[in-house]
């Protein structure tokens, strides 16, 4: 089971205007997962008003960032995110989509289309699970609602499953009981090196400035942000390694850019 993103060059003439690196990406996804991959777009000459369009059967499951360039020159990174909503309990057929590089209304001569061939394995077994109780084979490391617990529509659980540690996003199953939650998205977590930790509910945008006491640094908390951080000294942790957003309107857990994020260290008792 794999998802392949291969780049096929549309040639017209001897010289290539743009190239992509790498020319092949691999996604390993299931319904409810969200996976981000980066490619490098290299332009041999300056091109104005360029945009990326996605078409094909799997187009609705893909987003690109950025989506357009006022001026394309040299090398620029492009993030491609595959995000699949929770699906039915059966194997999903292979899908495909193509990301086209366009200049104005025309395809850029010698452009490099990205061909996405998506193959999704059997449905994530946890999607649709009603909590509590948790399955016997799953242990819970921590749980928290997103926002005020009295009015929260969603919650996050850090769990240890037979396949490893994972994040579960659940929504309140009001049709059953206010105290019941339905799992709507999961993300497997990497094994963290020593000195790194996962933080839920204490991350957000990094703020710096000056006041009467001098220069300050703090965090505007965004309860949807989850981050892997380097556990250093101090109240504000700025060495973010990876980050996700628990997107409540979309019921997904999505990777996000983390260069402007920070987390608040847990207060010692």
Residue spans per domain, the chain: 3-118, 125-189, 193-269
Rounded to whole angstroms, what are the CA distances from 161 to 10, 49, 68?
A: 45, 47, 40
Give pLDDT, residue 50: 83
The predicted structure's pLDDT at residue 79: 83
Question: Residues 199, 229: contact at Cβ < 8 Å?
Answer: yes
Where residue 17 falls among pLDDT bands split at 50, 70, 90? Answer: confident
Fold of 3-118: Immunoglobulin-like (2.60.40)
> Residue range 84-112: average pLDDT?
58
Q: What is the DSSP string of 61-91?
A: GEEEES-EEEEEEEEEEEEEEEE-----SSP
Question: pLDDT value at position 63?
Answer: 84
Integer Rg of the chain from CA? 21
pLDDT interval class at 26 (50, 70, 90): low
Q: What is the mean pLDDT of residues 83-109?
A: 60
**Which residues is 219 bridged to in the sheet?**
206
Beta bridge mates, 74? 43
Sequential DSSP letters for 154-193: EEEEEEEETTEEEEEEEEE-TTT-TT-EEEEEEEE-PPPP
| Over residues 21-32, mean pLDDT | 65
pLDDT of 130 strictly over 50: yes
pLDDT of amino acid 88:
44
Report the alpha-carbon angle 139-141-143, nearest 5. Answer: 110
Query: Percentage of the chain surpassing pLDDT 70?
Result: 70
pLDDT higher than threshold 60 for residue 103:
yes
Give the pLDDT band (50/70/90) at residue 190: confident
Q: What is the pLDDT of residue 112?
A: 46
pLDDT reported for residue 188: 86
**Averaged confidence pLDDT in the chain:** 76
Does 123 have pLDDT greater than 50?
A: no
Strands 114-118 and 130-131: unpaired
Rounded to 5 degrees, φ, ψ at 60 are -70, -10
């Amino acid at each position: 089971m794999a998802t392949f993103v291969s780049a096929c060059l549309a040639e017209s003439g001897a010289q290539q205007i743009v190239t992509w690196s790498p020319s092949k990406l691999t996604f390993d996804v299931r319904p409810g997962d969200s996976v981000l991959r980066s490619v490098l777009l290299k332009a041999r000459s300056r091109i104005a008003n360029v945009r990326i369009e996605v078409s094909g059967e799997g187009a609705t499951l893909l987003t690109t960032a950025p989506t357009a360039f006022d001026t394309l020159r040299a090398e620029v990174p492009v993030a491609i995110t595959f995000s699949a909503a929770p699906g039915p309990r059966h194997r999903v057929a292979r899908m495909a989509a193509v990301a086209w590089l366009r200049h104005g209304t025309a395809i850029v001569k010698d452009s490099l289309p990205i061909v996405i061939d998506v193959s999704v394995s059997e449905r994530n077994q946890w999607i649709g699970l009603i909590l509590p109780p948790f399955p016997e084979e799953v242990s819970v490391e921590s749980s928290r609602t997103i926002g005020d617990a009295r009015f929260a529509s969603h919650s996050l659980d850090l769990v240890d499953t037979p396949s490893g540690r994972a994040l579960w996003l659940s929504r309140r199953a009001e049709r059953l009981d206010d105290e019941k939650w339905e799992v709507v998205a999961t993300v497997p977590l990497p094994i963290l090196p020593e000195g790194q930790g996962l933080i839920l509910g204490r991350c957000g945008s990094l703020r710096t400035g000056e006041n009467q006491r001098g220069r300050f640094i703090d965090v505007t908390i965004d309860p949807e942000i989850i981050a892997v951080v380097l556990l250093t000294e101090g109240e504000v942790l700025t060495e973010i390694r990876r980050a996700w957003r628990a997107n409540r309107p979309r019921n997904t857990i999505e990777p996000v850019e983390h260069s402007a994020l920070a987390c608040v260290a847990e207060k010692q008792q």
